[in-house]
Structure 1
Amino acid sequence: MTDPCEISVVRWPGRTRSAEDGLAALLAAYHLQTETEKGAGVADVDGLPDRYRAEISDPRSAFADDVVLVALSGSATVGCLVVTAPADGRSEIKRLWTDPEFRGRGIASDLLGAALAHTAESGAGTVRLSVWNWRTAAIALYERFGFTVTESWDDRDQLVCMERAV
């Protein structure tokens, strides 16, 4: 029997439909929270921009060329992270999210560590990410993993761009 407090990080898509449903729920929570933090809160997924709704409704297609890592507690999907396929020697980390009920257990660190291991195996020389400047805990996590702030490749206000060598 699996300890329900034990967390495992696996590559998605996995074997169970519940992990897919759980990933969609995590992506929805991520995007809804982000829109709220940006001051553009919406009532539900239907109010999100098309590109985010596409990720939620069909993550398999939205991330077909990427690697999606999920953290599982038993059969529940409690965290996620996307690593883009390398392009020009660089991968990007996106959508790091942990279910708020499971925060403080090292899940984000485990997902980030697994993502960095994957990028090293994939041949990428650099991994980058962007994070909203108000997400100070996430920025501190990325800095602990060796990411440094770099010149922005994205013109959205309040977005911090970071990278590190693999």
Structure 2
Amino acid sequence: MSAQREVVIVRWPGQASSAEQGPTELLAAYHLQTQAEKGEAVAGVDDLPDRYRVEIADPQAVFADDVVLLALSGDSAVGCLVVTAPADGRSEVKRLWTDPEFRGSGIASSLVGAALAHAADGGVSAVRLSVWKWRAGAIALYERLGFTVTESWDERDDLVCMERAV
């Protein structure tokens, strides 16, 4: 019988100072997997589009106006999520990723719950997100957490846009 590993959700940087790399490795895994799922697999981070390489290289600068949440198991970051700064009464959830070894243990739900609490504390009326249509598991998770499909605000094909009141 394996022991359940304790995971805590913290804001980065700040409370997560023990996780020096922060979301770097998680963002790399997220973007590499997404490129592969889009049929545009690349050999490594250096081959990703510039906008994604910048996020991985310096998430603190890229997300300076946003809130980065990390799920920590000990000193290791095992999940991440970005909550954008409010605009027009809404925030957006981006870059939700859980280390595959830790999936199925409620980390993604905990990260989204922390994001919703943060948004509510900030006076946001709704949280939105976009998810690739082939990520059925993620869509089901978001639906369980109260998100519903809404009209798209993104011109990219294959995205499902969702929103939830806070």
- Normalised TM-score (structure 1): 0.95
Q: What residue is the counterpart of 2:121 in the other structure?
A: 121
1:8-157 superposed matches below 5 A? 8-14=8-14, 19-157=19-157
Q: What residue is the counterpart of 2:165 in the other structure?
A: 165
Q: Distance in 2 between matches of 1:113 and 1:16?
A: 18
Q: 1:155 offset after TM fit, Å? A: 1.2
Q: 1:16 offset after TM fit, Å? A: 5.6
Aligned AA (2:14):
G
SS at match of 1:43: coil
Residues 83, 157 of structure 1: alpha-carbon distance in 2 compared, 3 angstrom cutoff: same
SS at match of 1:41: coil
RMSD: 1.4
Q: 1:4 offset after TM fit, Å? A: 7.7
Residues 5, 141 of structure 1: alpha-carbon distance in 2 compared, 3 angstrom cutoff: same
SS at match of 2:151: coil
Q: 1:23 offset after TM fit, Å? A: 1.1
1:11-36 Cα deviation digits (max 9, x unpaired): 11035665241410000000000000
Structure with the higher fraction of residues in helix conformation: 1
- Please tell me whether the aligned partners of residues 13 and 22 of structure 2 are also in contact (alpha carbons under 8 angstroms): no
Q: 1:152 offset after TM fit, Å? A: 0.5
Q: Distance in 2 between matches of 1:52 and 1:9?
A: 24
Q: Distance in 2 between matches of 1:16 and 1:118?
A: 16
- Please tell me whether the aligned partners of residues 16 and 22 of structure 2 are also in contact (alpha carbons under 8 angstroms): no
Residues 8, 85 of structure 1: alpha-carbon distance in 2 compared, 3 angstrom cutoff: same
Percent of aligned pairs with the same amino acid = 73
- Please tell me whether the aligned partners of residues 130 and 159 of structure 1 are also in contact (alpha carbons under 8 angstroms): yes
- Normalised TM-score (structure 2): 0.95
Q: Distance in 2 between matches of 1:99 and 1:59?
A: 18
- Please tell me whether the aligned partners of residues 22 and 70 of structure 2 are also in contact (alpha carbons under 8 angstroms): no
Aligned AA (1:148):
T
What is the number of equivalent residue pairs in this alignment? 164
Q: Distance in 2 between matches of 1:95 and 1:57?
A: 15
Q: Distance in 1 between matches of 2:109 and 2:66?
A: 20
Q: Distance in 1 between matches of 2:20 and 2:116?
A: 23
